[in-house]
Amino acid sequence: MAGRTLAGLLEASAVRYPQRLSVVDSENLTLTYAELDKQANALARFLLGHGVRRGDRVGVALPKGLPAVVSIFGIMKAGAAYVPIDISAPMDRSRRILEECRISALIADTASLALRHMSCGGSVPAVVVNPPEGQTEGVSFHEIVAGDGERAPVEPVGDDLAYIIYTSGSTGMPKGAMITHANALSFIDWCTETFAPTPDDRFSNHAPFHFDYSVLDLYVSIKHGATVYLISEDLARRPRDMVRFIARHRLTVWSSTPSALTMIVQFGELEASDASSLRLVTFGGEVFPPRHLRSLQRHWKSAEYFNLYGPTEITTACTFARIPSNVPENRESPYPIGFACAHCRTLVLDESGREVAEGGEGLLYISGPSVFAGYWNRPAETAAAFLDRSGTRWYNTGDVVRWDPAEGFTYVGRKDRMVKRRGYRIELGEIEQALHLHAGVREAAVVAIPDADAGLRIVACVSCGNDRPSVVELKSFCATKVPAYMVPDRFVFRDKLPRTSSDKVDYQTLGQVAEARER
Amino acid sequence: MQDTKETIRQFILVSQLPGESPDSLRDDTPLQTSGILDSLATVGLVSFIEKHFGVELDVYDTSVEHFDSIDDIAATILRKRAASRT
């Protein structure tokens, strides 16, 4: 089993189902399994010919589309790990990511090609998707993938890194979770057991590739010879068109964050489209408000529903809950995150390190083959993320849960300052670091408060000099420093921030101020 | 045209920028690329415009190129209304 890899899943399906469709994009462009495999081989050969070696990292800064999928597989076939970049995030943040993990090649579209100059001395080989006429920089993706499609002579193993996904870091610098092929495969194999996919399934892919929910869509589909339908960034902003997309392609599996589904419920005109093809809906990354879930189920009646829970560090999901297909009218509390997936073990410890009894609360720890290899280049943070207990390495999720034998785990909250919004992890400290860079900001503190519709609102409390910047100015400034999902929803201005007796920012009072303002 | 812009401005101020002075939201202030409108807020604005102005906006109309400022949005509405009359 040491040789099993994510690229191997594609290779096996390409042998078995060469003429079936592997990927379809939002513009209806398609690749068969044979085409995807051949193009990825050609790209792997190019990368190997340009200095990429097994164990290297290669950045992918592309919009959702067929070239992004070919790139991911091509990089893995070269034995390297892909580092997916959020092309909507500020370039400077992406530059720091690419520099930190020292990429040895970059695959980008013209809009993101500037990242090459900004990072790694501007010298790494670049593959460019859709270069405009006359552009001389980099090598054209389309020319490369038309080349020799023979399999490259590289044999990655299960313990090699498959990808590095960066998540928000409290000090202002994102940190990269390193996931091996074996990590990802243990989760994918669990999906096989639990969801029983077939070659006739048509998977949606809503999550961007820098969000590890995409691992489910992409690799489970490819493993089973099914077809994955890519939802472009533009389409993801169009709930009505997404609903039509599901009907037109008769999708059978849908996975996304509850926020995306809430948007679909509110603006998708569900009554106008046929979604009877859907057999499975999974959601995760945040709480799904029951009233929106009920509305969804009134229209999407044929599907089985699953709530998935898990940080990037344990590859997409480590606990799951089956949700009844008729959420009762009187249910107001969100559904629990459920029970450990079969490939994971769980442990809940109270503050003194004792296992909690039924009904008790404590920190959730996970062990098993899907637990990540560590943070790239961060030995101290990696060590701090684990607990060694009776010979087993346990990952500390930082999430406080309550244990109930009937419902499983219920998410309670966190002890630190990380929150989840639209499935993305946000360290509130990273937003504060960004605000502090603004010349007009003297002090900044950021809190997250619950919101019935949005799930969570991010409120920045700011003290400024006499010339206070407008909210428009501050939001625009934040958008140049952090991704859009981290830009605060609301701003509260104070002459001074409240402080505790030990002169620390009094977040408890700030939270109350922010909540009072929302009412 | 000015009425259209004021209607859009008021909607954004009330829904996204409570307490903000109307002066700071100019006709050319970027909305999507600036983080003022996140994806959900953009969808909310699209829905408001479709109902209020009786137009149907497609992917092209709401792309960042055509939907990133009050100026852009007002022009898009004008174009859609003109197209529906012909």
Q: By CA distance, what is A263's nearest residue in B?
A: B40
What's the predicted TM-score (pTM) here?
Answer: 0.91
CA–CA distance, A518 with A512 (Å, rounded to integer) = 10
Please tell me the distance in Å from A470's CA to the nearest CA on chain B.
7
CA–CA distance, A477 with A290 (Å, rounded to integer) = 35
Q: Which domain holds residue B27?
A: 2-85
Q: Give how many domains chain B has, as a whole number.
A: 1
Q: By CA distance, what is B26's nearest residue in A?
A: A472
* Chain A residues 238-267 with CB within 8 Å of chain B: 238-239, 241, 259, 262-263, 266-267
Which two three-digit tokens encode residue A46?
A: 């190019």
**Residue found under tokens 């201005």:** A493
CATH code where residue B67 lies: 1.10.1200.10
Measured at the CA of A444, the angle between CA A418 and CA A398, to 5 degrees, comes to 10
CA–CA distance, A195 with A362 (Å, rounded to integer) = 30
CA–CA distance, A103 with A97 (Å, rounded to integer) = 9
Structural fold of domain A6-237: Rossmann fold (3.40.50)
B15 touching A (Cβ < 8 Å): no
pLDDT tens for chain A, residues 1 to 519: 446 999 999 999 999 999 999 999 999 999 999 999 999 999 999 999 999 999 999 999 999 999 999 999 999 999 999 999 999 999 999 999 999 999 999 999 999 988 888 877 778 999 999 988 887 788 999 999 999 999 999 999 999 999 999 998 877 889 999 999 999 999 999 999 999 999 999 999 999 999 999 999 999 999 999 999 999 999 999 999 999 999 999 999 999 999 999 999 999 999 999 999 999 999 998 889 899 999 999 999 999 999 999 999 999 999 999 999 899 999 888 899 999 999 999 999 998 999 998 889 999 999 999 999 999 999 999 999 999 998 999 999 999 999 999 999 999 988 888 998 888 889 999 999 999 999 999 999 999 998 877 778 899 999 998 888 999 999 999 999 999 899 999 999 998 898 888 888 899 898 888 888 776
A407 touching B (Cβ < 8 Å): no
Closest CA to B72 of B24, B4, B23: B4
- pLDDT reported for residue A519: 65
Please tell me the distance in Å from A406's CA to the nearest CA on chain B.
35
Put simply, the answer to whether B36 touches A475 (Cβ < 8 Å) is yes
* The residue type at A227: T
Q: Does domain A342-414 have CATH number 2.30.38.10?
A: yes
Out of A235, A237, A485, closest to residue B42 by CB: A237
Helix A258-267 and helix A239-249, axial crossing angle in degrees, nearest 10: 100
B62 touching A (Cβ < 8 Å): yes
Residue A339 forms beta bridges with which residues? A320
CA–CA distance, A215 with A201 (Å, rounded to integer) = 16
CB pairs under 8 A between A and B: 62
Which two three-digit tokens encode residue A435?
A: 């605000």
A416 touching B (Cβ < 8 Å): no
Please tell me the distance in Å from B3's CA to the nearest CA on chain A.
22
B18 touching A (Cβ < 8 Å): yes
Structural fold of domain A426-518: GMP Synthetase; Chain A, domain 3 (3.30.300)
Out of A235, A267, A490, closest to residue B43 by CB: A267
Put simply, the answer to whether A484 touches B17 (Cβ < 8 Å) is no
B30 touching A (Cβ < 8 Å): yes
Q: Which residues of B touch A263 (CB under 8 A)?
A: 39-40, 43
Three-state SS for A462-481 is EEECCCCCCHHHHHHHHHCC
CA–CA distance, A282 with A258 (Å, rounded to integer) = 9
Q: Which residues of B touch A239 (CB under 8 A)?
A: 43
- pLDDT reported for residue A2: 46
Sheet holding A455-464, edge to edge: A441-451, A455-464, A490-493
Phi, psi of A81 (to 5 degrees): -100, 140
B27 touching A (Cβ < 8 Å): no
- pLDDT reported for residue A1: 41
B44 touching A (Cβ < 8 Å): yes
Put simply, the answer to whether A485 touches B38 (Cβ < 8 Å) is yes
Please tell me the distance in Å from B31's CA to the nearest CA on chain A.
9
Three-state SS for A164-195 is EEEECCCCCCCEEEEEEHHHHHHHHHHHHHHH
Please tell me the distance in Å from B59's CA to the nearest CA on chain A.
7
Q: Strands, DSSP E only, in A111-218?
A: 126-129, 139-140, 161-167, 175-180, 202-205
- Judge whether A116 and A122 are in contact, CB under 8 Å: yes
Put simply, the answer to whether B34 touches A476 (Cβ < 8 Å) is yes
- pLDDT reported for residue A332: 85
A200 touching B (Cβ < 8 Å): no
Put simply, the answer to whether B36 touches A234 (Cβ < 8 Å) is no
**Residue found under tokens 């609301």:** A490
Q: Residue A201: how many CB atoms within 10 A of its CB? A: 20
- pLDDT reported for residue B60: 84
Q: By CA distance, what is A470's nearest residue in B?
A: B24
Which two three-digit tokens encode residue A280?
A: 């499975």
Put simply, the answer to whether B20 touches A470 (Cβ < 8 Å) is yes
Mutate to test the interface with B, among A234, A237, A256 (most CBs of B within 10 A): A237
> How do the domains of chain A map onto residue ranges?
6-237, 342-414, 426-518
B14 touching A (Cβ < 8 Å): no
Q: Which residues of A touch B55 (CB under 8 A)?
A: none
CA–CA distance, A115 with A200 (Å, rounded to integer) = 39
CATH topology match: A6-237 vs A342-414: no
